[in-house]
Amino acid sequence: MSDQNFDVVVLGGGSGGYAAALRASQLGMTVGLIEKSKVGGTCLHLGCIPTKALLHSAEVADVTRESAKYGVTSTFGGVDIAAVTAYREEVVASKYKGLQGLIKARGITTIEGEGRLVSPTSVQVGADLITGKNVVLATGSYSRSLPGLEIGGRVITSEQALELDFIPKKVVVLGGGVIGVEFSSVWKSWGSDVQIVEALPHLVPNEDVAISKQFERAFRKRGIAFSLGVRFQSVTQNDEGVVVTLEDGQTFEGELLLVAVGRGPSTANLGYEEVGITIDRGFVITNERLATNIPGVYAVGDIVPGLQLAHRGFQHGIFVAEEIAGLAPVVIDDINIPKVTYSDPEVASVGLSEAKAAEKYGADQISTYDYNLAGNGKSHIIGTSGSVKVIRVKEGPVVGVHMIGARVGELIGEAQLAVNWEAYPEDVATLIHAHPTQNEALGEAFLALAGKPLHAF
Ligand SMILES: Cc1cc2nc3c(=O)[nH]c(=O)nc-3n(C[C@H](O)[C@H](O)[C@H](O)COP(=O)(O)OP(=O)(O)OC[C@H]3O[C@@H](n4cnc5c(N)ncnc54)[C@H](O)[C@@H]3O)c2cc1C
């Protein structure tokens, strides 16, 4: 048994936890980072990074099939899933090694094992008591299911989907949100028949409705089937496959059912309630400065209600370390955190949707401009369609940007800068975008909103 004392103890080494640890150590604090599995958490090992590797492999398959369109003769010979796995694992392993090295170089003590909060200042790991002047809870999330829908056999979550050693011929995907559409996109590119079941009226339902509709058109064009607005009722499975029944009686067959209905907070049986931390439906409740109701105990990442995204976790972690150090960091609202869906097509957005902006400022107090990527040279060159929609307050700042099309995820940096800096289109319209880039589409939208459209009617 060896008890250890730190300035900060972080429970969970995912995006939120390791960011808190890195920033706290940078600020001169001693840090103990407790991790039961691998530092990097869901994002590095089971989420962002490996899924984007699969999406890249899917893109390569599509480009190969369509290469004749660009004057390149090639034959698509199929997808070697073992080689895809090797590529995916190599990417993750390399980033994991880099992260471990960084954590070590910053002088952070990593404590391997499962931790349990036993007091406002201490976490029990096996026989050891790890004590901190401040404690940061960062235990992340798990794939949720629906009541009565058991995961097992041919009914899988994203964790098993990632590690499949075969490509399903036919697959049913429950959930048309980010994770559901990303896997659907990969499988379709690899040749599977895909059927999505979404209970809400739209795919990517958290996006501006105009974007969701364009997304649905794009998926339909790709031959990805989906049913909207009807809820899942039941699933049966046997040696051959699954049969999924919806509440309206429709049935869909597939080799697998991927359950992608969201992620729940990993907070059960970790001592949080016993120590008196306020929990609501499993989430840790904090104030806007990420402090729990127990002084000195903070929470970051997916266990805090709101967007469940890695970069929100990073920002939370940095914020809490700076808060503990007394630097009074600025609060960033969830609405101003960029979101990217990395399917084909990509969707990228930040700020208010048109409906939310109208609700907040009044429909007659906002103006929007929707720039069609058909007018953008680079988009034509790479063969994508889509649009960039910018919403401003009249005589006021840009409050929302919503984009769809191949590679638009790479444009979100500029969009989030404009929204978070509360830029007026008139200010940013004078700044120059290189030609030909997809970034020009944003520039064109700013120009149009400033009353001087260039490549637009
Ligand atoms: C398939 C998929 C794709 C995704 N793609 C993206 C994407 O492209 N972009 C994006 O921004 N986000 C994406 N996400 C979401 C992203 O992964 C999460 O938002 C992010 O990982 C949350 O970070 P976190 O630190 O809160 O939790 P986690 O990353 O879940 O980390 C929590 C860590 O705590 C550890 N832990 C838990 N309990 C204990 C305990 N008792 N003791 C010790 N250690 C413990 C866990 O082992 C884990 O390492 C994706 C998620 C999934 C599932």
pLDDT number for residue 242: 98
Active site residues: 435
pLDDT number for residue 304: 98
Using CB distances shorter than 6 Å, the residues near ligand 1 are 11-17, 34-37, 41-43, 46-48, 51, 114-115, 138-141, 158, 179, 266, 270, 301-302, 308-311, 313, 342
**Can you state the angle between helices 310-324 and 15-26, rounded to 10 degrees?**
30
Distance, in Å, from the CA atom of 71 to the CA atom of 64, rounded to the nearest integer, reads 11
Percent of the chain at pLDDT above 90? Answer: 98
251, 243 Cβ separation under 8 angstroms: yes
Residue in 139, 307, 334 to alter for ligand 1 test, most ligand atoms within 8 A of Cβ: 139
Q: How far is the CA of 9 from the centre of ligand 1 (A)?
A: 18
pLDDT number for residue 128: 97
Up-side HSE of residue 14: CA atoms within 13 Å toward CB?
29
pLDDT number for residue 113: 98
Overall average pLDDT of the 181-198 stretch: 98
User: pLDDT digit string (tens) for 373-389?
Assistant: 999 999 999 999 999 99
70 exposure class (CB count in 10 Å sphere: 0-12, 13-18, 19+): exposed
Average pLDDT, the chain: 97
pLDDT number for residue 455: 86
**Is the pLDDT confidence value at 457 over 90?**
no
**DSSP bridge partners of 194:** 171
**Is the pLDDT confidence value at 318 over 90?**
yes
| pTM of structure | 0.97
Instruction: Tell me the domains of the chain and their CATH numbers.
Output: 3-141+264-334 (3.50.50.60), 155-261 (3.50.50.60), 345-449 (3.30.390.30)
Beta carbons within 8 Å of 46's beta carbon, 6+ residues apart: 158, 159, 162
**DSSP bridge partners of 263:** 143
**Is the pLDDT confidence value at 1 over 80?**
no
- Output the CA–CA distances (angstroms, integers) from residue 373 to 252, 384, 387, 405, 440, in the order listed: 35, 8, 5, 8, 10
Measured in residues, the chain has a length of 457
User: pLDDT digit string (tens) for 106-161?
Assistant: 999 999 999 999 999 999 999 999 999 999 999 999 999 999 999 999 999 999 99
- Residue 239, Cβ neighbours under 10 Å: how many? 6
To which H or E segment does residue 111 belong? strand 109-112
**Is the pLDDT confidence value at 2 over 80?**
no
